[in-house]
Each structure stands twice: as C-alpha cells, then as structure tokens.
Amino acid sequence: MFTGIITDLGSVKAIEKRPGGEARFEISTSYKADEIPLGSSIAHNGVCLTLVETGPGWFSVFASLETLDKTTLGGWDVGSPVNLERALKVGDELGGHIVSGHVDGVGNVVSIEPEGESLRFTFEVPESIKKFMAPKGSVAIDGVSLTVNEVNGALFGVNIIPHTCHVTTFGKYKVGDRVNLEIDMLARYVARLLEKD
C-alpha cells in the first residue's frame, strides 16, 4: 500500500527487453538503494513493482508484458522521469490517500493552464473509469495523490501547486502525454456494492 506522496523523482537509467515481452528497468534514485531489502515494493509512476537488484544510486525492477501493455511503462525511454514512493509502513503518516499501486486505466493530458501560481490540468479518462471520478474525490495520477476539482463527462481537472510541479513528473508534462490513473479505492468498492447481481 502507498499514500500517493512522492518521495523521490528518479529516472530510467537502463532498459533491457526480455523474451516474452517483459522488461528489466534500472532506475536512478536518491534513495539509499543498498539499504532497501530485495523484494521490497516501490511505486513507479503509480505502478507497484518489486525491487530485484540494487547498486550505488540505482535499483532494478521487472515489468511483465501485462504491466507494459496496461500502463505507460511500455513507453518509457532511458532518461524518462519516474515518480517513486516506497511502500507504507505501519505508523507512517498518511498524507495522501490509500493507493494500491494497481493502475485502473491510462488517461491523457488535455490542457494545462496557469491559475494563480498553480497550474490547472485537465485529463481525459477511459470510458471504463469515468463513473468513478467525483468532485472532491481522490485520484492517483502517475502515483501522485490528488483531489479532483471538477468532472465533465470523461474530463476532470486538478490544481497543481508549484512544489508538486518541482518534485514530481507534473513539471514535465505537456498536452497529449499519457498518465497512469488509479481511482479511489472507496469509490471502486461502493460502485461494486451498488451493482445489480
């Protein structure tokens, strides 16, 4: 489990394509990688992956073909920035919202407009998850916990403060970029409970 509070902005150091369509990624990080136990879960742009190797200033993870197909990780290049968050420990501050690291769909950036010192981002979501978006509800975008400002069909908006732009991938987005979306866990279960058998 995660909180959607990004603790490092890493980058893709190397990519090794594997048979069967899998990939091994080396990720540059400011974490003390050699102190992170092998097998630890780390969210990468909102995707939970297992750490399999470490080195000075980097660690590596594998991604299955399913993960590469259903998230934005299949489009990563060497140098791509990556929002990183280590798994939540019992007793940690829950500053965002409960995030599982399981991506529900891929959206795209529709517009970026200045609003005071912040930026107003509008995203388009797939039809399959638009019903889960609600004003003042939570959403994780590339692993970042955010509050939805408004919803208009398959479009929703969020405000991004300068600090968030500086310490996450939001400072690098442009119109048309694809992002990983994880809907609020509570919204998912409420919708399931309301479904007719």
Q: Are residues 53 and 13 in contact, defined by beta-carbon separation less than 8 angstroms?
A: no
77 in a structural domain: yes
One domain for residues 44 and 117? no
DSSP 161: -
Residue 91 included in any domain: no
Paired sense of beta strands 105-115 and 150-152, if any: unpaired
| Domain edge (last residue) among 86, 115, 140 | 86
pLDDT tens string 103-153 = 999 999 999 999 999 999 999 999 999 989 999 999 999 999 999 999 999
Could you write out the DSSP letters of every residue in 62-105? EE-HHHHHHSGGGG--TT-EEEEEEPP-TT----S--B-S---E
Task: Provide the residue range defining the domain that includes 145.
Answer: 105-194
Q: Please state the domain count of the chain.
A: 2
Largest CA distance in the chain: 53
Q: Are residues 18 and 73 in the same domain?
A: yes
Domain-embedded: residue 54: yes
For the stretch 6-60, pLDDT in tens is: 999 999 999 999 888 999 999 999 999 989 999 999 999 999 999 999 999 999 9
